[in-house]
Amino acid sequence: MAEEIYRKIQQEQQEEAERQKERNDQLAKEKAKRAAERLLARQQKALKREEKRRQKAALKDQKKAERLARARLRKEQNGGRPPLFNRRNFLLGGLGATAAALGVWWVTDERFWFQYQREGDSLILVKYTGFATNVTIPQSVTSIGDHAFSDCGSLKSVTIPHGVTSIGNGAFYRCKSLKSVTIPDSVTSIGYTAFGGCSSLTSVTIPNSVTSIRTYAFDDCSSLTSVTIPDSVTSIEEDAFSGCRSLTSVTIPNSVTSIGDSAFYGCRSLTSVTIPDSVTSIGDHAFSSCSSLTSVTIPDSVTSIGGGAFSDCSSLTSVTIPNSVTSIGKEAFKYCKSLTSVTIPDSVTSIGWEAFIYCNSLKSVTIPDSVTSIDFRAFTGCDKLTEIQVSAGNTHFKSVDGILFSADGKTLIQVPCGKSLTEYTIPDSVTSIGYSAFEDCNSLTSVTIPNSVTYIGKEAFYCCKSLTSVTIPNSVTRIGEYAFYHCKSLTSVTIPNSVTSIGKSAFIGCNLTSVTIPNSVTYIGDYAFIGCHDDLVIYGKAGSKAERYAKEWRIKFEVK
């Protein structure tokens, strides 16, 4: 039974880890994308309803106009003047003066499968309903409406005339066969998801008239290899080029001041990028999962690097962070497995959660005087990192033998897992062992915790696979969640009378054969001792929380 539960727990933990990675790396992108798709679906549905309503109204107007026209024609014929109306001119009235004079504003051109809407002097191409592979939009069109060509699966090329000033939201959304499009320099606005999902589009030149590349504008254009962004563009909005996995190069002009969240997310063929001096902010996950990106230079103008900005850039070997940067966001360089060194400038005040986690090639790092905040797990899993140095003038942190502590020495923050410690005695000044402080210290066999420690933090000894001996002193009151998760060599542990709480999964996957739990313990989290040795025995007092827990989880219990 225990083995079955253990397998179940292992599976749950693996799934939890996968879900965590997905949440951290893609939640913002997927949430926004789902919202955009729902919005598109609602807009398309609304557009269809509006189209039916307008067609009905147009038909009514047409009949009325025909009656008026016939009456005028008869009147003019009677007066000896030439007629002003014929049916062909009426049907194309959105393109001519006759229909405008009669007040017609919704017109279908049945010869070319275009539907138009007239608004003052503007002629909007509302919908294309044909199946042609090559389409030339009429010269008189001034605007391409929302979703005008969306889901036109047969469309391969489209020529947009010079008079067009705007391309609406989702205008060419999911035109999966579209390979080429010519955007004239009269266009000033390209709507969100305008070319999203055009998986056959190979190249695009954005004209000098465009000032902003909107959200999801070229999202999932998986065949797009190059893009030219003109000097007129000042912002690249979120997910603008996300999922363009064939994009090998992009030139960001000096006019751009901001790169939005996930702007180039998943551009896995992108090998290098130069960020101009005009850029002041790099959004969350802006270049995340650009797995071919080898180097990046961040200019002096940038003040913040967003969360996950370069996460999963597995080929990134070097990065230059300028003195202008004040904060490094959470997961900013997570899973940058090839990153060998990083210099944190004196301007940085905060290093976010998991900022450099699992940078497997990172060998050393120095915390400058300016840093006042280092969030949890900032350097966890860096298995070549042998020391974390702190500048002498820093008043918030200190380094002792390459191990990171709070300046007062009360919190042990991080032991570099590349340090290859086998035995370690925690200093007497320490009162708490931080979140993931010893995580993945695979060579650690024993640790001595002093009587000063009151709290063993969450995941403190997570996956210390060689740990055989740990002495928990009478001062400890709480053992955090996953504190000794998968310490496979740990066979026995004694919980002191001072402990009141044992967190969820605290000893899951250890090789424990016996554990003594005192009467002081009032809380034991789920799975705390699941997946341990088949012969595990929990010792405790009759009627105690330990006995109730053992019964609930079908673990052998003996009164002691």
What confidence category does residue 182 fall into, taking pLDDT thresholds of 50, 70 and 90?
A: confident
Predicted TM-score of the model (pTM): 0.77
Tell me the domain boundaries of the chain: 112-233, 255-362, 386-560
pLDDT by residue (tens digit) across 265-285? Answer: 999 999 988 899 999 999 999
Q: Whole-angstrom Cα distance, residue 219 to residue 198?
A: 8
DSSP 38-81: HHHHHHHHHHHHHHHHHHHHHHHHHHHHHHHHHHHHHHHHHHTP
**pLDDT on residue 263:** 98
Contact 532, 510 (CB under 8 A): yes
Q: Where are the beta strands (DSSP E) in 93-220?
A: 106-109, 114-119, 122-128, 134-136, 143-144, 157-159, 166-167, 180-182, 189-190, 203-205, 212-213
Res. 98: pLDDT tops 60:
no
- The architecture (CATH level 2) of 386-560 comes to Alpha-Beta Horseshoe (3.80)
Res. 83: pLDDT tops 50:
no
Q: Whole-angstrom Cα distance, residue 296 to residue 177?
A: 34
| Segment 79-83 mean pLDDT | 39
Topology, domain 112-233: 3.80.10
Mean of per-residue pLDDT scores for the chain: 86
Stated as kind and residue range, the H or E segment containing 101 is helix 97-102
Same fold, 255-362 and 386-560: yes
Q: Where are the beta strands (DSSP E) in 463-513?
A: 469-471, 478-479, 492-494, 501-502
Helix segments in 356-458, DSSP class H: none
Contact 31, 23 (CB under 8 A): no
CATH number, span 255-362: 3.80.10.10
Distance linking the first and last C-alpha atoms of the chain? 25
| Segment 315-341 mean pLDDT | 94
| Segment 342-353 mean pLDDT | 95
What confidence category does residue 86 fall into, taking pLDDT thresholds of 50, 70 and 90?
A: very low
| Segment 123-137 mean pLDDT | 93
Greater confidence (556 vs 84) lies with 556
pLDDT by residue (tens digit) across 421-479? Answer: 999 999 999 999 999 999 999 999 999 999 999 999 999 999 999 999 898 999 999 99
**pLDDT on residue 320:** 84
pLDDT by residue (tens digit) across 139-158? Answer: 999 999 999 999 999 999 99
